[in-house]
Structure 1
Amino acid sequence: MSGGIPHRLMGAAAIVAVVAGSAATIAIPSPATAAAPAVGGQAPGYYRMHVGKFEVTALLDGTHPFQAEKFAIGAKPGQVNALLADQALPSPFEGMINAFLVNMGDKLVLIDTGAGNLYGKDGGGLVSAIKAAGYSPDQVDDIFITHLHEDHAGGLMLDGKPVFANAIVHVSKRDADFWLDDRNQSKVGPLLKPFFPAIQKVVAPYVAAGRFRPFVGDSPLLPGIIPIPAPGHTPGHTYYLLQDGGQSILFWGDTVHMLPVQLPDPKIAIEYDWNVPMAIAAREKALALATRNGWWVAGAHISFPGIGHVRAAGVGSYRWVPANYSLNR
């Protein structure tokens, strides 16, 4: 025994006294004065997959909330909000603004460009997403626009400057003739009238440079890319079907704005449609084609990455099967 008290003989009170006595010599960390500040925001959005030999990258330009019940056409009272609630979604319904990049080996192709600055803080993320995905806007060779609405062509410019220095812009001649002619403003409602000056401004630099080339018909635009006319949402609304190695993906633009609403009931239209009956017919045809053929579908306003399959869910009704997230794409 060397003058100390064996631990086995110390009572609880003695142990407490020893600990208390040594506390003055032990540095006790002080509690953090503040929590780490919240950073906010999300990572620039991209998602990669392959269709045959073609690399397809979904790009997120932004998200845009809108009053789904207010803008729906042909829905029963309360139907839209009820269908959203079935998916635990609120109203305003926050829709995506997606675009898609296709590396074809010899060409880098962009399908739609997002909204740029035309939707304020709700858009403008496309350039960041392209760079995050490993590319730069200057590498884009061809841009295929599904239709000349602000959230599909607005990204041709950002902060007042053209974004794509080397790209040729392709869009159906019927859509170009409509939106680039102010006389057609009398053919749309107040909601769509502002699209005319906005679209004319963003395409102007490409027109001046000789890099705006409207097309007619459904002949292949590049080996592997076929345009499919689908008028209704706009006069020249166009799908693009990409095919290789027995695989297909349909870039269908604005066939669907509110997935939880318009797949269960494809007859529900939206105020942004130029011709409601034609838009409904185009949607029903696209849903049937995609289901029957088992195509991948890429949608501009479907929850990011906006890629999946359509399956029948009863007579005239469909459901969405989203792409399974994978690191092996």
Structure 2
Amino acid sequence: MTTRRSFLKAGLGLLSLSTAGALTARAGYAAAPFAKTQAPAFYRMALGDIEVTALSDGTLPVPLEKFFNNTTPDHVDAVLRSVFLESPVDLSVNAYLFNTGSRLILIDAGTGGLLGPRLGHLVANLRAAGYEPEQIDDVVLTHIHADHSGGLTHAGKPVFPNALVHVNKRDAEYWLDPANLASAPEAKKTSFHEATTSLKPYVDAGRFRIFADNASPIPGFGSILRPGHTPGHSSIVIESKGERFVVWGDISHGDAVQFDEPDIAIDFDVDSQIAANTRRHAFVHAADHGYWVAGAHLPFPGIGHVRADSDEFDWVPVNYSAAG
């Protein structure tokens, strides 16, 4: 005897078979190899009359528990697990392009070919964002480390042939002095060689400039000496229509550990104690004044704000906007 219940059950059974067949067929048509790559990585925002474009050079997996000091590996691992990370952690390498309407200024230049295939994508992302390397008027370095200056040069030639390169005087004197290379521990000599190689084409072409502590590398762009990570490590300050944007450089390596514990430093510092003191001062200043911050190794695009909280400080990333 056919009832309403039996009719509905039969209909649902047919629908299930039909749906399963359709899903099976569609699954077959949809089969494709995994892409295993991300889309071009750039992010735009307005700063008064200036357009800011964050550019990714890529990411590098770093076993932070091996490189953070003034702590223990177990503690670092526990902190990472608490925010759903595990070692090695992918650290971003970010650079920032400022379009003033009359000039293009790039702050930091990525790694080039110095640190492997996971990095070295700055120029590709610059082009994806609509610019060519030849259009860059100035490159300002927060400091001379391979992940900030390596992208200046390729095969001995300048990547940004029309740009002036600006570096704090202390960093230039430290990294480019042959006497410092000669006296450096063997494990650190590579960094001195990389610095010289990356900057030489600009020095030879008369396109290398140095700026004093807390001076303006170029008109409209200020600097704050923030030593420790390197002797002349400097944050770059840009203001427009009452808005301030500070490109930090390497104040922090990632956002999981050092905001809650700014005294934890990293072995990449030339002087970790000075770097830790500098980091705390930078956090306090950013939290007190509420300006935009951009960090070279904060998760891309690395732009946001700092606020004080019960665990020292907190990183508040920019809210994504498709408006640019």
TM-score by length of 2: 0.88
Cα shift at 1:30? 11
Q: Which residue of 2 aligns with 1:322?
A: 317
* Aligned partner of 1:220 among 212, 216, 223: 216
Q: CA deviation at 1:224?
A: 2.6
Offset from partner CA, 1:27-61 (integer Å, 9 cap, x none): xx899489212222112210000111111100000
Structure 1 CA distance for aligned equivalents of residues 323 and 26 of structure 2:
46
Structure 2 gap ranges (5+): 1-24
Instruction: Assess, with a 3 A threshold, how the Cα gap between structure 1 residues 268 and 109 changes in structure 2: closer, same or farther.
Output: same
* Contact 1:192/1:272, CA 8 A, preserved across alignment: no
Aligned 8 A contact 2:91 2:297 in 1: yes
Q: Aligned equivalents of 2:104 and 2:129: distance in 1?
A: 13
Q: Deviations over 1:228-279 (max 9, x none)?
A: 1111000110110111111111101000013211001000000000011110
- Residues 191 and 327 from structure 1, CA distance in 2 versus in 1: closer, same or farther, beyond 3 angstroms? farther
Question: Residues 188 and 83 of structure 1: is their aligned pair in 2 closer, same or farther, counting only changes over 3 Å?
Answer: farther
When residues 258 and 34 of structure 1 are mapped into structure 2, their CA distance, relative to the original with a 3 A threshold, is closer
Is 1:182 the counterpart of 2:178? The answer is yes
Question: Corresponding residue for 1:26?
Answer: none
Corresponding residue number in structure 2 for 1:292: 288
Change (3 A) 1:33 1:263: closer
Q: Give the conservation status (yes or no) of the 8 Å contact 1:291–1:309.
A: yes
Q: CA deviation at 1:188?
A: 5.0
Residue in 1 aligned with 2:144?
Answer: 148
8 Å contact from structure 1 (residues 191, 272) kept in 2: no
Contact residue 144 and residue 195 of structure 2 kept, 8 A: yes
Partner of 1:113 in structure 2? 109
Equivalent AA in structure 2 for residue 105 of structure 1: G
Among 45, 48, 66, which residue is 1:70 paired with?
66
Change (3 A) 1:205 1:87: same
Deviates more, 1:36-45 or 1:186-195: 186-195
**Pair 1:39-2:70 in alignment:** no
Deviations 1:174-220 (A, max 9, x none): 10111112321366555532111111111111111000111113232
Aligned partners of 2:51 and 2:30: how far apart in 1? 46
Residue identity in the other structure for 2:78: A
Change (3 A) 1:247 1:74: same
Matching residue of 1:237: 233
Distance 1:154 1:297, change over 3 A: same
- Report SS of the residue matched to 2:60: strand
Q: Which moved more, 1:161-170 or 1:29-38?
A: 29-38
Q: Give distance in 2, aligned partners of 1:292 and 1:191.
A: 39
**Do 1:258 and 1:301's aligned partners in 2 also have CA atoms closer than 8 Å?**
yes
Structure 1 residue aligned with 2:193: 197
CA gap of 1:323–1:30, structure 2 versus 1, over 3 A, is closer
> Which residue number corresponds to residue 9 of structure 1?
none
In structure 2, relative to structure 1, the CA distance for the partners of 1:84 and 1:216 (3 Å cut) is same
User: Counterpart of 2:313 in structure 1: which amino acid?
Assistant: Y
Pairing partner for 2:133 from 132, 137, 144: 137
Across the aligned residues of Structure 1 and Structure 2, the Cα RMSD in angstroms comes to 1.8
Aligned residues: 300
- The match for 1:280 among 252, 273, 276 is 276
2:31 maps to a residue whose letter is A
Judge conservation of contact 1:188–1:274 (CA < 8 Å) in 2: no
CA contact (8 A) 2:65 2:72 kept: no
Indicate the residue corresponding to 1:57 in structure 2. 53
Q: Distance in 2 between matches of 1:208 and 1:292?
A: 43
TM-score by length of 1: 0.87
Tell me the distance in 2 between the aligned counterparts of 1:278 and 1:187.
21
Contact residue 254 and residue 299 of structure 2 kept, 8 A: no
Q: Report the 3-state secondary structure (helix = DSSP H, G, I; strand = E; otherwise coil) of the residue aligned with 1:194.
A: helix
